[in-house]
């Protein structure tokens, strides 16, 4: 699954499993893995002997295998999160389970083990692709041959507003203002007027500020504009017009709605 940050790539797998009544997915934080063996487990010394301790991924595959052998329904999802943040040497051991053989060969102190991934296991990877994402690696042909690309687009405005209301409990009128500001900043970033586009995570954080009593204008400045560099005055306006913050503020106020005029339409309960 390919898309900008905050488009719900990882969340999609969990939501799909919940709706379909499948087991909860196994998310592998592949970007946090330093050695390939960590994907499968670790060796430890116990009472003078070395034993291989299985990772959650291997345990998840074991449970999926039992479910398949017993004829139980359902799909077991493995989410390889931030796939393109891992170097090739970390991803290479997983290539076997992503092709027709569906096998994993795991080196351990007790010798190599081969595991066949059952057909009820589906592997999904997520990726943020683009030069603006620091720490990512280019997908090589071996990666591309093993996945079907699904592009996750941004949420429609009304859906994003509903999500924000559900997650934070703020008023719909408040959520609408936050979402519209975020969408304008995304449009400005898409036209390369500014370098950062706030994701739904930032939108949710802004909504939580409002939910906890922060005035909506201050919440928007802190929540959505917080990562833009540049000085600002006491009332939150830019003191450096040519800074990233100044450009973001200008893109917002000149295109759609004045932040100065934003007021809470109703009092939050």
Over the stretch 54-109, which tens digit does the pLDDT of each residue have? 889 999 999 999 999 999 999 999 999 988 888 888 888 888 888 888 988 776 66
Q: Are 203 and 164 in contact (CB under 8 A)?
A: yes
The pTM assigned to this predicted structure is 0.71
Same domain, 97 and 169: no
* pLDDT for the residue 265: 35
Cite the beta strand spans of the chain per DSSP E: 26-29, 41-46, 49-54, 76-81, 103-106, 113-116, 121-125
Same domain, 112 and 48: yes
Domain-ending residue, one of 94, 110, 144: 144
Q: How many domains does the chain have?
A: 2
* pLDDT for the residue 43: 67
- Domain carrying residue 248: 157-261
53 DSSP β-pair partners: 42
* pLDDT for the residue 131: 52
Domain-ending residue, one of 112, 144, 176: 144
Question: What does the angle CA 13 – CA 93 – CA 55 come to, to the nearest 5 degrees?
Answer: 60
Query: 3-class DSSP state for residue 263?
Result: coil
- Residues in the chain with pLDDT < 50? 256-269
81: in domain: yes
37: in domain: yes
* pLDDT for the residue 157: 92
> Cβ neighbours of residue 249 under 8 Å, at least 6 residues apart?
225, 237, 238, 259
């Amino acid at each position: 699954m390919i898309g900008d940050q905050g488009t719900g790539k990882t969340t999609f797998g969990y939501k799909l499993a919940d709706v379909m009544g499948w087991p909860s997915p196994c998310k592998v934080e592949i970007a946090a893995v330093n050695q390939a063996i960590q994907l499968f487990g670790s060796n430890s010394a116990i009472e003078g002997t070395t034993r291989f301790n299985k990772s959650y991924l291997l345990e998840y595959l074991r449970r999926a295998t039992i479910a398949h052998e017993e004829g139980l329904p359902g799909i077991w999802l493995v989410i390889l999160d931030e796939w393109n943040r891992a170097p090739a040497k970390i991803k290479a051991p997983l290539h076997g389970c992503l092709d027709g053989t569906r096998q994993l060969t795991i080196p351990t102190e007790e010798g190599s083990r081969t595991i066949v991934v059952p057909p009820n296991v589906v592997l999904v990877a997520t990726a943020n692709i683009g030069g603006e994402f620091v720490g990512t690696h280019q997908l090589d042909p071996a990666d591309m041959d093993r996945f079907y690309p699904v592009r996750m687009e941004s949420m429609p405005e009304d859906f994003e507003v509903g999500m924000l209301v559900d997650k934070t409990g703020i008023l719909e009128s408040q959520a609408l203002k936050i979402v519209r500001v975020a969408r304008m900043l995304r449009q400005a970033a898409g036209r390369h007027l500014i370098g950062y586009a706030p994701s739904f995570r930032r939108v949710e954080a802004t909504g939580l500020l409002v939910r906890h009593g922060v005035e909506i204008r201050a919440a928007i400045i802190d929540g959505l504009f917080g990562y833009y560099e540049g000085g600002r005055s006491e009332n939150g306006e830019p003191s450096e017009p040519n800074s990233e913050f100044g450009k973001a503020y200008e893109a917002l106020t000149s295109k759609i709605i004045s932040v100065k005029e934003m007021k809470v339409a109703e009092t939050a309960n």
